[in-house]
């Protein structure tokens, strides 16, 4: 009596632009991967019960199709077959998901990669990456030192982060004003004139020019779309939709994509990244309102940073993601419970970030601009 064929579920990774950047790997289409899976099944007495696909990206954090495939493997007793793993073994989110699932899997293009060997392979890649990063950092620091500023590398990174945040935050703040202008039928040049006439400062201070407004309009549109579909994306996640299913659903429901673009998995990832940035900004702004005043009171009462840290720990205050990001610039890996444990240095970092954020907000949200915004709201109400 012949042995019944083993069930397998195929998982196809569609190569993104950067998945094999810097490598000589051959990129396979879905049809080519399907052909390889069928050939594997025929040679090894396997039966294909399902197939899933999604775009692979070394920076990607979520893999809904992989999640569905692994869950299906569990329910039907199948083995996952990754047809063309490529460089995804270097994506920690991807490999962590595979390892934590505990499910057996096979990689056709890299037969040595399986559930037993993957943890060691991942650790090896992590060490290589850290060594490579350390070499680059040392090289850059040596170059900067020769130019007279050994700390330039860290400073560039730390300067760029708040600039990006400010650009997103600025667009969030300006959105209602731009919406009012649009309701009045203003052209972009008319908007520039109105912003200058009404005393609204440009992103870097000073008067507005058309190119500045156009960049802000793009950010506003991306912010608006991200916020508008955030609940929809959560529902898709709960239903365990793959990226491809999400794209199809968004198109079917007529959801507007930013900048007249076509919905794609890459665009979805951009939307998710923007949402993460918005949530991080909102999280720290909440910290700025709810916790920072109390920190200042502790400081004014004569408490040291160590004592303030003890108080925050006793009160169960978690470190904001924005502060954790600053800490990560000096520490390669944070302890798993770091968010729940304040130290004296963390208090100093949080204070500096908070004061910088407050200055950035005050640049635009000051008494003069608030009065102008109120006037615009009054005008909008009168028009309606």
* 271-316 residue pLDDT tens: 998 998 888 888 888 888 889 999 999 999 999 999 999 999 999 9
CB 376 within 8 A of CB 195: no
**Within a domain: 272:** yes
**Do residue 179 and residue 269 come from a single domain?**
yes
- pLDDT < 70 positions in the chain: 1-3, 16-26, 58-59, 87, 128-160, 204-205, 330-334, 336-337, 339, 362-384
Cβ proximity of 262 and 71 under 8 Å: no
CA distance 306 to 331: 20
Q: How far apart are CA 39 and CA 57, in angstroms?
A: 26
- Chosen domain end from 276, 306, 330: 276
172 and 251 together in one domain: yes
Whether residue 343 lies inside any domain: the answer is yes
In this structure, the answer to whether residues 112 and 12 fall within a common structural domain is yes
Report if residue 1 sits inside a domain.
Answer: no
Rounded distance between C-alpha atoms, residue 384 and residue 377, angstroms: 11
Q: Which domain holds residue 33?
A: 6-116
The Cα 265–Cα 243 span in angstroms is: 6
Question: Do residues 102 and 26 both lie within one domain?
Answer: yes
Nearest one of 115, 58, 59 to 82, comparing CA atoms? 115
Task: Give the pLDDT score at 371.
Answer: 62
- Asked whether residue 202 falls in the same domain as residue 268, the answer is yes
Distant-in-sequence, close-in-space partners of 315: CB < 8 Å, separation ≥ 6: none
Q: Which of 235, 250, 276 is the last residue of a domain?
A: 276
Is residue 327 assigned to a domain?
yes
Q: What are phi and psi of 265, to 5 degrees?
A: -65, -35
Q: Are residues 297 and 272 in the same domain?
A: no
Three-class DSSP labels, the chain: CCCCCEEEEEEEEEECCCCCCCCCCCCCCHHHHHHHHHHHHHHCCEEEEEEEEEEECCCCCCCHHHHHHHHHHHHHCCEEEECCCHHHHHCHHHHHHHHHHCCCEEECCCCCCCCCCHHHHHHHHHHHHHHHHHHHHHHHHHHHHHCCCCCHHHHHHHHHHHHHHHHHHHHHHHHHHHHHHHHCCCCHHHHHHHHHHCCCCCCCCCCCCHHHHHHHHHHHHHHHHHHHCHHHHHHHHHCCCCHHHHHHHHHHCCCCCHHHCCCCHHHHHHHHHHHHHHHHHHHHHHHHHHCHHHHHHHHHCCCCHHHHHHHHHHCCCCCCHHHHHHHHCCCCCCCCCHHHCCCHHHHHHHHHHHHHHHHHHHHHCCHHHHHHHHHHHHHHHHHC
Q: Name the one residue in this structure whose structure tokens are 């970030």.
A: 353
Q: Decide if 371 is inside a domain.
A: no
177 & 96 share domain: no
User: Based on the domain organization, do 248 and 295 belong to the same domain?
Assistant: no
Q: Supply 218's token pair.
A: 């793009």
- What integer pLDDT is reported at residue 21 of this predicted model? 46
Q: Is residue 379 part of a domain?
A: no
CA angle at 64 for the pair 58 and 70, rounded to the nearest 5°: 100
Q: Are residues 111 and 216 in the same domain?
A: no
Q: Which residues contact 107 (CB under 8 A, 6 or more apart)?
A: 81, 82, 85, 113, 114
pTM passes above 0.75: no
- Using an 8 Å Cβ cutoff, are 344 and 306 in contact? yes
Does a structural domain hold residue 144? no
Contact 86, 56 (CB under 8 A): yes
17 and 107 in a single domain? The answer is yes
Diameter of the chain by CA atoms? 88
CA angle 52, 58, 62 (to 5 degrees): 50
How many structural domains comprise the chain? 3
Q: Which residue in 168, 157, 360 sits closest to 270, CA to CA? A: 168
Residue 127 within a domain:
no
271 and 293 co-located in one domain: no
Domain termination residue (choose one: 247, 276, 305): 276
Residue 37 and residue 74 in one domain: yes
Pull the structure tokens for residue 309. Answer: 């840290």
What CATH number is associated with residue 82? 3.40.50.1390
Predicted confidence at residue 26, as pLDDT, reads: 58
Helix axes 292-300, 305-314, angle to 10 degrees: 140
């Amino acid at each position: 009596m012949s042995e019944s064929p083993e069930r397998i579920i195929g998982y196809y990774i569609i190569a993104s632009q950067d998945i094999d950047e810097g490598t000589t790997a051959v990129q396979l289409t879905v049809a080519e991967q399907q052909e390889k899976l069928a050939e594997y099944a025929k040679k090894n007495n396997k039966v294909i019960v399902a197939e899933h696909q999604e775009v692979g990206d070394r920076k990607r954090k979520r893999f809904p199709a992989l999640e569905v495939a692994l869950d299906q493997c569990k329910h039907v007793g199948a083995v996952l077959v990754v047809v063309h793993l490529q460089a995804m073994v270097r994506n920690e989110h991807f490999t962590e998901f595979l390892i934590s699932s505990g499910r057996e899997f096979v990689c056709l293009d890299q037969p040595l990669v399986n559930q037993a060997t993957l943890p060691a392979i991942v650790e090896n890649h992590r060490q290589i990456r850290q060594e490579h990063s350390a070499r680059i950092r040392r090289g850059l620091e040596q170059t900067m030192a020769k130019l007279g500023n050994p700390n330039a590398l860290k400073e560039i990174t730390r300067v760029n982060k708040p600039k990006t945040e400010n650009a997103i935050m600025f667009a969030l703040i300006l959105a209602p004003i731009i919406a009012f202008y649009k309701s009045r039928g203003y052209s972009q040049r008319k908007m520039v004139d109105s912003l200058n006439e009404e005393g609204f400062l440009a992103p870097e201070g000073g008067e507005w020019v058309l190119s500045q407004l156009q960049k802000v309009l793009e950010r506003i549109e991306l912010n608006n779309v991200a916020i508008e579909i955030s609940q929809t994306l959560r529902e898709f996640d709960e239903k365990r939709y793959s990226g491809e299913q999400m794209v199809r659903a968004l198109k079917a429901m007529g959801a507007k994509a930013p900048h007249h673009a076509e919905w794609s998995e890459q665009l979805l990832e951009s939307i998710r990244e923007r949402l993460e940035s918005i949530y991080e900004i909102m999280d720290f702004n909440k910290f700025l309102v709810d916790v920072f005043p109390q920190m200042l009171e502790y400081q004014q009462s004569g408490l040291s940073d160590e004592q303030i840290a003890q108080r925050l720990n006793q009160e169960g205050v978690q470190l904001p993601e924005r502060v954790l990001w600053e800490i990560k610039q000096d520490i390669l890996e944070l302890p798993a419970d770091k968010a729940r444990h304040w130290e004296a240095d963390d208090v100093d970092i949080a204070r500096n970030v908070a004061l910088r954020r407050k200055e950035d907000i005050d640049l635009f949200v000051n008494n003069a601009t608030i009065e102008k915004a109120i006037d615009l709201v009054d005008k909008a109400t009168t028009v309606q």
